[in-house]
Amino acid sequence: MTDRWVEIQIDGLIGPTHHFGGLGVGNVASQQSQWRMSHPRSAALEGLAKMEQVASLGVPQFFLPPLIRPDWQFLEQYGYRGERSDILKRCGDENPQLLSAAYSSSFMWTANAATTASGVDTRDGRSHAVIANLCASLHRGIEARGRWQQLKDWTAGVEGIAIHEPLESESALRDEGAANHMRLCDSAGNLAGLHLFVHEPTAENKQVNAPKFWSRQGKGASERVADTLQLPFGGRLFLEQTQLAIDAGVFHNDVIATSHRNLLVCHEDAFVDQQQSLSRICDAFSRCTGEILHVIEVPRSKLPLGEAVRTYLFNSQIVTGLDHRMHLICPSQCSESTAARSLVDAWIADPSNPIHDVTYVPLSESMANGGGPACLRLRWTLPELVLNSRMSAWRWTPERGEQLRNWVERYYVERLSYADFQRLEFAEQATATVAAFPFSSRP
């Protein structure tokens, strides 16, 4: 095996049934957008443009095909059997949220698909991924089976990779994957990393008597995932989300904190006992890497929690390009916010800050469902040799990008409203669109 490690970005393609079901638990944008007309074609094209931007920096960019929707098996589990046209009619009339869940394109937020660790970090030297059970919500729980199969097929036979099944779908083990996980490592990106797991506040840290929203990440889940990833005890830390942030709409840690290599960016209200948490992180990081962690802590006086949630500044992607510099990929909402924009401008102007430049990307359709640039991708640090394995079948190249764009333009509908879900013709078209994915669905 090689000793060169690369962080790859894996985006799940936005599906042809992308819509606004108002299904996101504790997710303010999703709730506010409920039943708005959606635009699957432009949503998917925005996702592709973001991947193209990342790939143009020389970052290895991969993609996963959409999962097939509607999920007939799911509808059957809820008692909807018989003629498909009747199922759509009955379920749509009786239980619109269930039909919306069966059609959900929420698999597009690939940061929630799994939690990953690199072989350089783990006790057995293999690179692991634990598929998230996403059992905190009905529409997301149905992703796990499809993604597990897809990642198994994609990595089959690739040496040194292990894909693990999701944890049991029990409330205490509710797991939302890498959205609640950050990996820090040395500035060159080649040494063992420190893994931060962020989960629900414990009872004494709930801070308020009647929490508005429920955390979607169980403490037990984070601990089990860290074990399954084979992380040594010195390579893992557990942190608690604040109830204050959860109640303000921070339904995942990646809405309030992010990291890349030796850089940690977080809001003042990200973690319980923030100062103590930050010192624990800095100490563990130094022990792990022999380097000093670069921390950017954003005070609420500069960016109130509500503005952090509205702009998704912390959901920016930070990547190292071929030029060995850090680039920030920010949602365009940040460029329109005085507070967020001033912070980004100051980071870039500061020569001691590792972030070199910024690109603002429009993701209006995904953002209206609470998904920014970082939600759309899963990171995995893997041996460089992997880039030439069978996994390269789903690697972004300019030619494949063109094929994906043509496919989206040809098959995806421009506008979609709830009434379409009850039409068998639309259900069949959505399935046919995924079947027409321009590359092998099992590489």
CB nearer to ligand SUG: pick between 284 and 330: 330
Determine which residue in the list 112, 222, 316, 381 makes contact with ligand SUG, applying CB under 6 A.
Answer: 112
Torsion-angle region of residue 368: left (phi > 0), alpha (psi -120 to 50) or beta?
A: alpha
Interface with ligand SUG includes 30 (CB under 6 A)?
yes
Torsion (CA) 323, 308, 182, 260 in degrees, nearest 10? 10
Q: How far, CA to CA in Å, does 174 sit from each of 137, 177, 180, 188, 203? A: 9, 9, 11, 34, 17
Active-site pick, 19, 195, 199, 252: 252
Determine which residue in the list 67, 255, 263, 278 makes contact with ligand SUG, applying CB under 6 A.
Answer: 255
CA-CA distance, 425 to 253, in Å (whole number)?
Answer: 39
Interface with ligand SUG includes 109 (CB under 6 A)?
yes
- Of 108-116, 166-174, 238-246, 414-422: span binding ligand SUG (CB under 6 A): 108-116
Lateral strand order in the sheet of 194-199: 181-184, 194-199, 236-240
Q: Which amino acid is at 264?
A: L
Q: List, as own/partner pairs, every contact residues 86-89 make where C-beta atoms lie below 8 angstroms and the sequence separation is at least 24, other chains included.
A: 88/421, 88/422, 88/423, 88/424, 88/427, 89/422
Determine which residue in the list 102, 120, 135, 179 makes contact with ligand SUG, applying CB under 6 A.
Answer: 179
Q: Enumerate the β-bridge partners of residue 361.
A: 331
Active-site pick, 46, 176, 240, 365: 176
Binding mask 348-387 for ligand SUG (x = CB under 6 A): ---------------------xxx---x------------
Determine which residue in the list 206, 236, 252, 400 makes contact with ligand SUG, applying CB under 6 A.
Answer: 252
Total interface residues for ligand SUG by CB under 6 A: 23
**Could you give the angle at which helices 84-94 and 424-435 cross, rounded to 10 degrees?**
110
CB nearer to ligand SUG: pick between 294 and 379: 379
Smallest distance, ligand SUG to C-beta of residue 245, A = 13
Torsion (CA) 294, 300, 303, 308 in degrees, nearest 10? 90
- Of 81-89, 102-110, 142-150, 396-404: span binding ligand SUG (CB under 6 A): 102-110
Alpha carbon of residue 252 to chain centroid: 9
Residue position matching structure tokens 């469902």: 369
Determine which residue in the list 12, 15, 16, 21 makes contact with ligand SUG, applying CB under 6 A.
Answer: 21
Smallest distance, ligand SUG to C-beta of residue 337, A = 18
Binding residues for ligand SUG, per CB under 6 A? 19-24, 27, 30, 104, 106, 109, 111-112, 140, 179, 251-252, 254-255, 369-371, 375
Active site residues: 176, 252, 375
